[in-house]
Structure 1
């Protein structure tokens, strides 16, 4: 789960598919599906889970590079729970999101390959608010972050009770690495994408070894943790490009090199969270896109504001990030979300597409300029290195290999979006959708995009081609994105 140094407990609204990107970059070849490298499952492209065994219980858990601890909350409860008599609370984000419970200890296993005989974990008894992850079959979280700076609440509780020599309270990764002190301390993560036609990679999580299909990541530039010792997977971003042109993005962090930004890589975040000014810089390039401020539109992803870009569902823009001088394309299906909206009078349903990159607000203030979650990480194979093994580990670093073929992703976007829309309600132009919800256009009189006449086109051109329109203060009704 993402957040300041950890991830937020994000709302898991399932989306049909998302959209935006491509360039001609060097890309890793497609993966072959094998049992050894297919241990991560995608839940609606919003969550990535793996099955663990803890104290004899098999539990599907979210993988989260933005936090450290292991906790579980299976609905049937745990058998063979070995209660240590200790309890703690693990907090996320600004602290308002948390889980609490009793600390247990038991045998841990991932894939039957990575085992820890005595692993501390939290048996959750209560949470802050309702957790929609539980409703979609995710019953815990496996933290893959740092223990530096007291990053593990479980380990803090154990060592407070039994002293600093007690090591069984360490994170899963720390305990696995401790069993092999001569090996390098790193993990590799590949995230899959549901709904595309490229045959995207099966999801994989490997520890102290690379996915065999992506071993060439070892030749990629090493992106050092910045600032060093931050306790997060934060790295330097050279630029964020739209249509091949970098957007203006002044960093708020003193540790950021001149003209660059610091972003946090977080598998527990569903999308990209960035400042609203940069969100606007991206989506305002889409012809016909409309920005409106409305709390009644439920974005498919968490946002710190109600600023929503309504965009044409067939709109495609080229988006790429640059790290260490290397460009990484983002697939067009990762930049907008498509769903269904119901008219205020409840008589009509319309297809609508909204921005997938959203406002970061004060999340991570002082620590990161943006959270780069799964919308970005689906496009790369990432090796997260804690500074390699041994007693003299250096600065942690990240290596990435592009997995998105820019040319193929463009055709993929067109085919996938068109096929999905064939089975969905009609789409309106964004500005006409706004008019339906502000009462200036009856839903029954709205002309779908596919049948719009030239006369209606001419009468509705209230903005320059290629520019977004900003409309404020409209009260919009919205059903549920899916």
Structure 2
């Protein structure tokens, strides 16, 4: 099993606070806002569409990066670079969808400091990508108006590099792009020198609407667009982080990212430990099953563990088979693979297994909210993301039900029942 963590990012519904060291733990607080529901419990279809499109293009870009960094031999069987999603799809008026009203409910995130002295940025901690990027002071378009911006001239440790952060295209046709820098980066009191990152001079419309400044990737270096070593790996190499390991606990109210070593104190039962398989660059584990009760609806698949999405994605045929177990369930949004079901039929026994130990999704985490008084939308979507045959993605709807630990040291992911 992985060890226990000494550094915690506490992500709460409070106002932002600067890192405050204690004897053993350093904490920073922020809002926890990873929902696809409106405040009155209705499903936010527009936001879900944007999330699906964002995820599709993120995985597409990651495959391009993997091909450039490692080669096509690293692709899982059936993996392929799909065309980008080109446009948003507006929800049908006949489906009773509530309009988007609260874009703050989009992700969970926390502060990082960049430079000497520190310039603070609110970033999404994403196990499904490997780059760090923040907005540049040279991003003067309206898209950057509400973002914190990096001023290299204000940092005594900033160094610009000639490499240009390759354009990552999103569904609206714009992109994140800009020069690369190295500078001191601090997360929860852990400082890493000469950390590579991109200072984005252009940001897509989709990202402009998100309540974050940038993204800090926690996946393997093979996915890094810039060819820069990710933060945790850099910290391990410099000795700022004792072990290249981290743990995640995500809930609807508070969340924590623990860096350095992960704790058995967080677990209420023995963890299931799973080796990372392949060279995909993801935290990807194999020999998966999904079922309800004693019934199994898909088996033998691999899964990418991705804190950067709220969804659970699976192959459309396998997901359709699963939803047949829910009375009254039907395909509601075919383009995005979303299913509806009677709210009172929300399953409390949907579970995933990888070699050992079922981990169950609660009925609450399975539902993305109502579309009318009696009908809800499920968190499991049927969609091919180009990641390969029989490949699933387990996002926050699953991760809310477990404590998840990741180790670059042993190349393992483990799940346990959280001790809340």
Pick the TM interval, shorter chain: 0.5 to 0.7
C-alpha distance in 2 between matches for 1:310 and 1:288? 8
| 1:184 and 2:243 are equivalent in the alignment | yes
Which residue of 361, 370, 375 corresponds with 2:397? 375
Q: Given that residues 90 and 153 in structure 1 are in contact (C-alpha distance below 8 angstroms), is that contact kept between their aligned partners in structure 2? A: no
Which residue of 21, 28, 32 corresponds with 1:42? 32
The aligned residue for residue 269 of structure 1 is 309
The aligned residue for residue 27 of structure 1 is none
CA spacing shift, 1:243–1:404, aligned 2, 3 Å: farther
C-alpha distance in 2 between matches for 1:216 and 1:204? 16
C-alpha distance in 2 between matches for 1:185 and 1:404? 23
C-alpha distance in 2 between matches for 1:122 and 1:37? 25
Give a deviation string over 1:83-114, Cα, whole Å, max 9, x none.
334322264899x88521111222211112x1
Give a deviation string over 1:384-441, Cα, whole Å, max 9, x none.
11134xxxxxxx1111112399xxxxxxxxxxxxxxxxxxxxxxxxxxxxxxxxxxxx
C-alpha distance in 2 between matches for 1:261 and 1:329? 17
CA spacing shift, 1:210–1:39, aligned 2, 3 Å: farther
The aligned residue for residue 276 of structure 2 is 225
C-alpha distance in 1 between matches for 2:387 and 2:312? 13
The aligned residue for residue 59 of structure 2 is none
C-alpha distance in 1 between matches for 2:404 and 2:108? 15
Which residue of 128, 134, 139 corresponds with 1:66? 128
Number of matched residues? 309
Q: Given that residues 191 and 240 in structure 2 are in contact (C-alpha distance below 8 angstroms), is that contact kept between their aligned partners in structure 1? A: no
SS at match of 1:154: coil
Deviation at 1:122, TM superposition (A): 0.7
C-alpha distance in 2 between matches for 1:328 and 1:312? 23
The aligned residue for residue 285 of structure 2 is 235
The aligned residue for residue 130 of structure 1 is 205
CA spacing shift, 1:307–1:67, aligned 2, 3 Å: closer
The aligned residue for residue 78 of structure 1 is 150
Deviation at 1:212, TM superposition (A): 6.5
C-alpha distance in 2 between matches for 1:181 and 1:362? 36
CA spacing shift, 1:323–1:339, aligned 2, 3 Å: same
C-alpha distance in 1 between matches for 2:399 and 2:301? 17
Q: Given that residues 267 and 374 in structure 1 are in contact (C-alpha distance below 8 angstroms), is that contact kept between their aligned partners in structure 2? A: yes
Deviation at 1:371, TM superposition (A): 0.8
Deviation at 1:137, TM superposition (A): 1.8
The structure whose RCO (Cα within 8 Å, separation 6+) is larger is 1
Q: Given that residues 346 and 367 in structure 2 are in contact (C-alpha distance below 8 angstroms), is that contact kept between their aligned partners in structure 1? A: no
TM-score (norm 2): 0.65
| 1:354 and 2:377 are equivalent in the alignment | yes
CA spacing shift, 1:224–1:279, aligned 2, 3 Å: same
| 1:210 and 2:232 are equivalent in the alignment | no
- Displaced runs of 4+ in structure 1, greater than 6 A? none
User: What pairs up with 1:250-269 in 2 under 5 angstroms?
Assistant: 260-269=300-309
SS at match of 1:262: strand
Deviation at 1:144, TM superposition (A): 0.5
Q: 1 or 2, which has the higher strand percentage?
A: 2
C-alpha distance in 1 between matches for 2:280 and 2:209? 34
Q: Given that residues 274 and 358 in structure 1 are in contact (C-alpha distance below 8 angstroms), is that contact kept between their aligned partners in structure 2? A: yes
CA spacing shift, 1:117–1:182, aligned 2, 3 Å: closer
CA spacing shift, 1:243–1:364, aligned 2, 3 Å: same
Deviation at 1:222, TM superposition (A): 2.6
Which residue of 318, 335, 340 corresponds with 1:310? 340
CA spacing shift, 1:180–1:243, aligned 2, 3 Å: same
